[in-house]
Structure 1
Amino acid sequence: MFRRQMLLKLFLLTLASALTVFSVACGGEKIVEVEKIVEVEKIVEVEKIVEKEVEKVVIATAVPGAASPGQVTLDPADLPNSKSQGGEVRVAVVSFGALGTSGGSLPDVPFGGARQLGGAESLFSPGPQNFDEMQLASDWTLASDLSSVEITIRDGVKFHSNGGDWGNVTAEDMAWVINRTNPAINPESIAASAANLTALFGDTPVTASGNTITGTFNNFDVRWASNLLNQEASGGLTTFATSKKAFDEKGVAWLKTNFVGTGPMQVGEFKPGISVTMEKVPYDHWRKNASIDSITMIAVPEEATRVAMMQTGEMDVAYIAPKDMRMMASGGFTAVGAGSGTQEGIMFPGNLWESHNAVTGEALDIPSHGVYVRAQPWTGNPWTPDDDDNPAGMDDMEQARLVRQALARGVDREAINQYVVGGVGRPNHVTYFSTVNKHWDSKWEYPYDVAKANAMLDEAGYPKGDDGLRFQMPLFVGPELGGGAGPAGEIGDAIAGYWQELGLDVQVLKYAYGVFRPGLVSRTTVVPMLTGCDDGNPIYPFDWPKGLVQTTLTRGGFSCGFESPEILAWYQASAKEPDQDKRVAINKEYLDYMHHWALFPGFIMVPNIHFANPNHIKEWPMNLGGSFNSPENIVLK
């Protein structure tokens, strides 16, 4: 497996990529840079060869000076004392999604199994520098022909005593978790990105014997430990340990409001849709004894309310919308995060171009599929490429490509960064790839060009009518960045505004993601979606295999809504390739293709940042990952 060190670089705590550091200074602000040299291991797991490289990590902290016109600032002298008691920490988040009664590794556990709150542990986990530290795995052996892996489960890891004495984690528990999550084995599983396990193992169950589990690969992927069986896996999928005994004795209904994990924090109180409190376990934890007594996460949808609660000391940590990050930093609040960012792109579902299921080999009846019953300007039909609305000499695939290209070029990314997310983001052009990565090339960008965008739409056969409109198009705002109620909703509105200037009648949809998701699983939706679609995170290395959820390998589970035989071939080649440079070359071919066909143009990358009150929280060291993790590491003043 290969390990990579992300680089955290913030302009007022803005993320940069894992390979290139950039610095931006603002008028009236002084940038203080703290540099450290870290030794990074990159392991190619096929051969267990360790290569080491040195990368510079630059973290920039802004010291506010004169504010720009209209910018709101706070006085650090007004920094409040915390109202939390003793070893308590209180965190305000945006939405109820993370606090619901479904999701996580198993389809039955609440609030994602507290993978960000110290309650859950997986076979592998990111460390401070690497993606693939062994956690509940204590050893592993990969077959020389890449056909299977045998993983030894760590001895003496105690389950939380939530509702009973559930003993220690066993190999049987871990095999059961993986199999129950895999929708090819358990059709009822709708766990986040669960079909990634279908791609990895197919319908062959993981088996347990003694203290080991054995998985037989259906499609080997070099990220099997650094991502797919990892605490911070793509799209929220985690294979963390929970007790099969508790499930057998208590049942599904009990498990939906209770969680039995193994982490340093255990569930104290859970109020569905409102809050969850995690408490320090009352015994010596095998890995880390938490330095706090409890952490409570509370859903507070309104941005102004979260800011006010931080200013009064009601909350110790809060998710802050990008546009308010400068304000919070000016008031002396400290940014905390795991180094990640969210790439917001727009994927175009309905472009189903594969003829066979890559897992089963079964022929797919795509030509009669519902997505092609009614032609949409952004969906290309390779099965019946000639229809009565194509311009002369142009097939349906080229017609739809021109539309998607026009939509990618008709949006001013710099303006969205400046005016919608407060200048703390970075333009993005092809989702899954950072524009400051050393492998990036400007040829993959979509320059803002209204004239060219209009010309492309005209060429595609969609001229403006007397009312100034070309066609109607919905746009669904995905769950990242708080979904429609959060910054993502504002980004979606801005993109829709640019498209309306091109003559589109755009309806921005902001309803619950749980209502939209089944159409992605069934491959029946044609509604474009603002999202990062699992891997829209700039900390993921450039060479990691791309496009798994853009193929039929994940049929039966989540997808980006489009499928391509070319993407399938590149993914499978990269997933099996032990040489990093060759994986980079494969992904550059994928990038050429994605830029040309514009199936998933990116628009903006926004840092995943929370702000903490330094009068209560001295530091919060985190591992690589999503917006936050490892509360057991919090050090209080």
Structure 2
Amino acid sequence: MVFKQRKVLWAAAAAAAVALTLTACGASSTDTTEGESVIISPVVVNPPSLNPLANETAAYMLRGQFYDTLVRLNATDLSVEPGLAKSWEASDDGLTYTFRLQEGVSWHDGEPFTSEDVKYNLTEAMQYYSPLATTYALISDVQTPDENTAVVSLSSPAGYFLSGLANLYISPAHIYAGTDIMANPAWNTPVGTGPFKFESFEEGQQITGVKNEDYWDGEVQADRIVNPVIPDRNARNVALTNGDVNLEFRDAVDPSQLPTFEANDAFQVAPMVGAPEELITILNQREGRPLADFKVREAIMQAIDRDPIIERAYFGAAEAAPSAIPRKIAWATNEDVDLSTQYPLDIEAAGKLLDEAGYPAGADGTRFSLKLVVEPSQQPASTTAELLASDLDKIGIDLQVQLTDFQAVISDVWTAPYDFDIYLVQTSTEADPSVLLSTLYTCNPNDIPYSNATGICDEDIDALFTQAAALSDQDERGELFREADAAIVDTLYSSLPIVVTASPVVAAANVTGLEDFYSSTNWNWAALGTK
């Protein structure tokens, strides 16, 4: 892979002003010792905890530094590769998986990692990580015939089981078993098997780790890793320019500055590979809501102009999403459907649909209002929200954009009374539609948080996802997913993507190991160093 080089030019006045923010964020405490290799990678929000089971942005970004998974996914083809499990065998009926674990692995506190840890995570801890709710529901039993073997029994075959496990970061049973796991204060001083050992967590300032000298998966290249909390994007840009940080990726990257970084050989930009990421709209279609009417959803789709979103929110690092299942999951996506073709940009047609739906324009041109919720930490998403507001204004919809933090999102989107119309969020779709996408499109009669929050149930689409989840043969599963993909586009059901993103990583030129860092969708933090 050849990395492009990018350049940044900042006005001195702007840099000085934003530097005040850096000081407030504690960036000055990231000074390094001469000869020490340190990776300094900012997070955009202060993490409520370092719990890898928390469905929260900062914890998601940091978990691979301290913890490991049983299996990993190859970033190029999304195939399953060894992690803490060095090998595995599946029974012919797909109901039993026997995992052979890496030997000689220790937790950071010196206790041995064993099959009992695997059992605890698969039978207890996993239930708290909502994106894996369907995977957890499959597990009927875990046996540990010896300390390096775990035998997992499933209630039904599931072709996505291993892909699901690639998202479960293993925590130590000797610390969490028998406790209220989500409330355990030990999460803020994490003990894992990962490449870095936890050193400190300064609330609102930074999280620091030191090299795990005994890491089971080879030499860790950096001596230390520092994650300063820098919510302000301008402050992050200045920090990278000035050398106060040396690695930014995902939400930390400011897309508007990519062209300037490209022109400076003091920086390198690597394209992000791995599981697809999309900007999606979760549509509240409960009875009485405007979006419950298909014609309203159709009108909105015909009013959205994706080109300005791609250029002004993502600065070219995205493309229009054709359907619910990304094209990268080639075996499952339906290439015969395309949202942009089926619902082409047409303001006049969109207005007529709203008339037909019984929403005439008032004297001021407004038909009705919708509430859109978005997290400001996801900068391209919040920029997109403003562009969507402009698009919908053209057809008489007053889109009221509410910028809110993750805790407020839980209240507005994921729990009753569901006070939103549209939730705009950038998320990974994972490597298999049964792992995450299924939670968006299958029925959710019990209103389980972080699942289908739209309040509707399409039994046919639900059945297609359910049947695909119960099969092991990828070709058979692909047929079902392609049918579901078409049905979602035809009915504009539940959640719809706007763009597929290509978030890059931006690093100082002296940072090494970027290719290996992205070799796994779990991010290989051990590979990063400096020269």
Specify the alignment match of 1:134 in structure 2. Answer: 82
Query: Residues 224-273 of structure 1: CA distance to partner in whole angstroms, max 9, x if unpaired?
Result: 11x2111xx3xxxx2x2222212359985431311111112111222233
AA aligned opposite 1:210 = D
Task: Indicate yes or no: 2:450 matched with 1:558.
Answer: yes
Among 251, 268, 282, which residue is 1:334 paired with?
Answer: 268
- Deviation, 1:105, is 2.7
Give, in whole Å, the separation in 2 of the partners of 1:546 and 1:513: 20
User: After superposition, where does 1:92-241 map in structure 2 within 5 Å?
Assistant: 92-96=41-45, 99-101=47-49, 103-105=51-53, 111-112=59-60, 114-117=62-65, 119-127=66-74, 129=76, 130-161=78-109, 165=110, 167-183=111-127, 189=128, 191-201=129-139, 204=140, 206-211=142-147, 212-225=149-162, 227-230=163-166, 233=167, 238=168, 240-241=169-170
1:215–1:528 distance in 2 versus 1, CA, 3 Å: farther
1:290–1:426 distance in 2 versus 1, CA, 3 Å: same
Specify the alignment match of 1:368 in structure 2. Answer: none
- Deviation, 1:492, is 1.4
AA aligned opposite 2:40 = V
Task: Indicate yes or no: 2:223 matched with 1:299.
Answer: no
Task: Indicate yes or no: 2:281 matched with 1:346.
Answer: yes
1:182–1:553 distance in 2 versus 1, CA, 3 Å: farther
Specify the alignment match of 2:361 in structure 1. Answer: 464
1:271–1:543 distance in 2 versus 1, CA, 3 Å: closer
SS at match of 1:93: coil
Query: Residues 130-184 of structure 1: CA distance to partner in whole angstroms, max 9, x if unpaired?
Result: 53112111333323323333333332211102xxx4x21122111112223344x
SS at match of 1:463: coil
- Deviation, 1:476, is 1.0
Q: 5+ unaligned residues in a row in structure 2: which ranges?
A: 12-29
Specify the alignment match of 1:247 in structure 2. Answer: 176
Give, in whole Å, the separation in 2 of the partners of 1:578 and 1:551: 19
Among 523, 541, 547, which residue is 2:438 paired with?
Answer: 547
The 8 Å contact of residues 94 and 472 in structure 2, kept in 1 or not, is answered as: no
Among 395, 403, 427, which residue is 2:320 paired with?
Answer: 427
AA aligned opposite 2:188 = T
The 8 Å contact of residues 83 and 313 in structure 1, kept in 2 or not, is answered as: no
AA aligned opposite 1:343 = E
Specify the alignment match of 2:18 in structure 1. Answer: none
1:465–1:571 distance in 2 versus 1, CA, 3 Å: same
- Deviation, 1:342, is 2.8
Among 590, 598, 604, which residue is 2:499 paired with?
Answer: 604
- Deviation, 1:91, is 3.0
Specify the alignment match of 1:256 in structure 2. Answer: 187
1:328–1:545 distance in 2 versus 1, CA, 3 Å: closer
**Greater fraction helix:** 2
Q: TM-score, normalised by structure 2?
A: 0.83
Q: TM-score, normalised by structure 1?
A: 0.70
SS at match of 1:138: strand
The 8 Å contact of residues 71 and 82 in structure 2, kept in 1 or not, is answered as: yes
Q: How many pairs does the alignment contain?
A: 494
The 8 Å contact of residues 373 and 401 in structure 2, kept in 1 or not, is answered as: yes
Among 387, 403, 407, which residue is 1:514 paired with?
Answer: 407
1:435–1:338 distance in 2 versus 1, CA, 3 Å: closer
- Deviation, 1:467, is 2.4
Give, in whole Å, the separation in 2 of the partners of 1:253 and 1:478: 27
Give, in whole Å, the separation in 1 of the partners of 2:100 and 2:137: 22
- Deviation, 1:126, is 2.1
- Deviation, 1:452, is 1.5
Specify the alignment match of 2:381 in structure 1. Answer: 488
The 8 Å contact of residues 468 and 477 in structure 2, kept in 1 or not, is answered as: yes
Query: Residues 318-337 of structure 1: CA distance to partner in whole angstroms, max 9, x if unpaired?
Result: 23211211111112211145
Query: Residues 447-483 of structure 1: CA distance to partner in whole angstroms, max 9, x if unpaired?
Result: 211112111111111111122111111111158xx33
- Deviation, 1:577, is 3.5
AA aligned opposite 2:240 = M
Specify the alignment match of 1:273 in structure 2. Answer: 204
- Deviation, 1:580, is 3.4
RMSD after superposition: 3.4
- Deviation, 1:542, is 8.1
1:436–1:156 distance in 2 versus 1, CA, 3 Å: closer
SS at match of 1:495: helix
- Deviation, 1:192, is 4.5
SS at match of 2:198: strand
Tell me which of the two structures has the higher relative contact order, counting C-alpha pairs closer than 8 angstroms and 6 or more residues apart: 2
Give, in whole Å, the separation in 1 of the partners of 2:187 and 2:150: 26
Q: 5+ unaligned residues in a row in structure 1: which ranges?
A: 1-33, 35-58, 65-71, 76-81, 184-188, 352-370, 380-399
Among 557, 581, 589, which residue is 2:483 paired with?
Answer: 589
Specify the alignment match of 1:447 in structure 2. Answer: 344
Give, in whole Å, the separation in 2 of the partners of 1:511 and 1:534: 20
Give, in whole Å, the separation in 1 of the partners of 2:511 and 2:61: 27
Give, in whole Å, the separation in 2 of the partners of 1:192 and 1:298: 27
The 8 Å contact of residues 127 and 624 in structure 1, kept in 2 or not, is answered as: yes
- Deviation, 1:606, is 2.4
- Deviation, 1:590, is 1.2
AA aligned opposite 2:219 = N
The 8 Å contact of residues 268 and 279 in structure 1, kept in 2 or not, is answered as: yes
